[in-house]
Amino acid sequence: MKKVLIADDEKNMIWAIKRALKNEDYTIITASNGKEAIDNVKLHEPDLVLLDLKMPEMNGLEALKNIKNEFPNIVAMMMTAHGSVKTAIEAMKIGAIDYISKPFDVEELKIQIRKALDIREMSDTIDYLTEELRNKTGKRIIGESKELKNVLNIVNKVAPSKATVLITGESGTGKELIANAIHFNSDRAKKPYIKVNCGALPENLLESELFGHEKGAFTGAINKKLGRFERADGGTIFLDEIGEIDLNVQVKLLRILQEREMERVGGTETIKVDVRIIAATNKDLFKMVEEGKFREDLYYRLNVIPIEIPPLRERKDDIKLLIDYFLDKYSKELGKKEFKITDEALDTLKDYEWRGNIRELENVIERLVILSENNLISKEKLPKEILNIRDELNEFKLPSSGINLEEVEKNLINQALKMTNFNQTKSAKLLGITRHALIYRIEKYNIDIKK
């Protein structure tokens, strides 16, 4: 329930406003002067402050200055029977978002209060929403391969639900784009969408960022801070690199998933949040559970709807589409004519393993567009590392006596496992296959991994 503070020295006016807002879902707090208004703001932390201009002890403008100094994000409206353009401009400069003159129409007042509260709700997430709503990211998912279509089919099914989603895949495969597509195709699309890179923040800062903190909770906490979960209330939070979260923070995250409630750091108030969680990782969380590095209960809470993004080397049918897209993108950005690519260059790029996936491909294409002296991408212009890999592949020769392909495959899998100290995810990456494909082959060849 939203809290509205009404500050006016006229009891009849307070009574009239309270009566007008009787059927609205607000908690009404009152004050009879500016100083009392400041005290009540500190005590109740209202969502909206409605200040009369003329009040004893301290007028509305002075009260507004004091409130804004200590609570810069608070939303305030001014009201007066002595309104003028000059005082309205002064109030706006101090930080009031609206101004209403007495006597006022009750319905007009209700509308202005609703608008002000909408601004309050948006203020903590506007920076995030502006960037995300600029482009409906589903349009940027490029590809027509069977593998990608399978992923998008899951996205279409899960987006309308409230289910928690865990997106897995190698770095650069487009996990964030899939998360964006889920949010923007859900009924929360117009609500906050908050992203957190869990691997970019140390444990103490991550906890404060996720759950917020109270004033004085720790050294440097000079003001109360809303956490990302509060900012995302009603919408979606995307937790990228979820495997980097410390065990202590995992406990709090588990509580939100189970109970939909939390406390700020240094606080005692239980805060309810309605947030859909989408998490992503390039790590093997199940293996982390086995190693005691990730909570098993949290893993199963996150893994309600698993979506595995295939690496680019497993969706080679999409490589040409991606190349065309990036050639068009960077030629336009750099003001160059339309680029073409030779068949030989395209075949070489298709054969490359793309360990960095789409991100690596994009970087290569951007480099080619920048450095190219004409508008044709030929094989000779490709980076040396790509050409060298192609040459290495061509060096493998089939002996005239033939080979046992299964023995070769088994031998390569054993080599990869030993090179990575039996880390299945890293071994799969070395071999250019998914972890699931590797596990299938380990079982097929009865390879002993209990080393």
Using 50, 70 and 90 to split pLDDT, how confident is the model at 128? very low
15-49 per-position pLDDT tens digit: 988 888 888 888 999 999 989 999 999 888 888 89
Using 50, 70 and 90 to split pLDDT, how confident is the model at 82? low
214-267 per-position pLDDT tens digit: 887 777 777 778 889 999 999 999 999 999 999 989 999 999 999 999 999 888
Burial of 218 (0-12, 13-18, 19+ CB in 10 A): exposed
Position 39 scores a pLDDT of 92
Window from 25-29, 98-102, 176-180, 423-427 with minimum mean pLDDT = 98-102
338-390 per-position pLDDT tens digit: 899 999 999 999 988 898 999 999 999 999 999 988 889 999 999 888 887 55
Q: List, in order, residues 6 or more apart from 191 with CB less than 8 Å away.
A: 234, 235, 236
* SS3 state at 372: coil
Superfamily of chain region 2-122: Response regulator (3.40.50.2300)
Position 144 scores a pLDDT of 84
Burial of 323 (0-12, 13-18, 19+ CB in 10 A): buried
Using 50, 70 and 90 to split pLDDT, how confident is the model at 129? very low
Q: What is the DSSP letter of 96?
A: -
3-state class percentages of the chain: helix first, strand second, coil last, to nearest 5: 50, 15, 35
Highest mean pLDDT among 100-104, 198-202, 375-379: 375-379
**Is pLDDT at 195 greater than 80 in this prediction?**
yes
Q: What is the DSSP letter of 265?
A: B
Using 50, 70 and 90 to split pLDDT, how confident is the model at 133? very low
DSSP 216-230: TSSTT--S-B--HHH
Position 166 scores a pLDDT of 97
Same-fold call for 142-308 versus 313-395: no
Sign, CA dihedral 241-298-181-233, equals negative
State which fold the 142-308 domain adopts. Rossmann fold (3.40.50)
Using 50, 70 and 90 to split pLDDT, how confident is the model at 167? very high
High-pLDDT (> 70) share of the chain, %: 91
Position 424 scores a pLDDT of 87
Within 13 Å, how many C-alpha atoms sit on residue 324's CB side?
8
259-312 per-position pLDDT tens digit: 999 999 888 889 999 999 999 999 999 999 999 999 999 999 999 999 999 999
Spell out a b/e string for 4-25, using b for 16 or more CB atoms within 10 Å of the CB, else e: bbbbbbeeebbebbeebbeeee
Question: Do residues 301 and 258 lie in contact, with contact meaning Cβ atoms separated by under 8 Å?
Answer: yes
* SS3 state at 393: helix
For tokens 């970019």, the residue is 200
Using 50, 70 and 90 to split pLDDT, how confident is the model at 391? low
For tokens 């299945």, the residue is 424
Task: Looking at the structure, give the CATH architecture of the domain made up of residues 313-395.
Answer: Orthogonal Bundle (1.10)
Domains of the chain: which residue ranges?
A: 2-122, 142-308, 313-395, 405-444
**Is pLDDT at 134 greater than 60 in this prediction?**
no
Mean pLDDT, the chain, whole residue set: 86
Residues 109, 441: Cα–Cα separation, whole Å? 70
Phi, psi for 202 (deg, rounded to 5): -70, 165
Q: How many CB atoms lie within 10 A of CB 391?
A: 9
Superfamily of chain region 405-444: Homeodomain-like (1.10.10.60)
Single-letter residue type at 180: N
Question: Do residues 144 and 317 lie in contact, with contact meaning Cβ atoms separated by under 8 Å?
Answer: yes
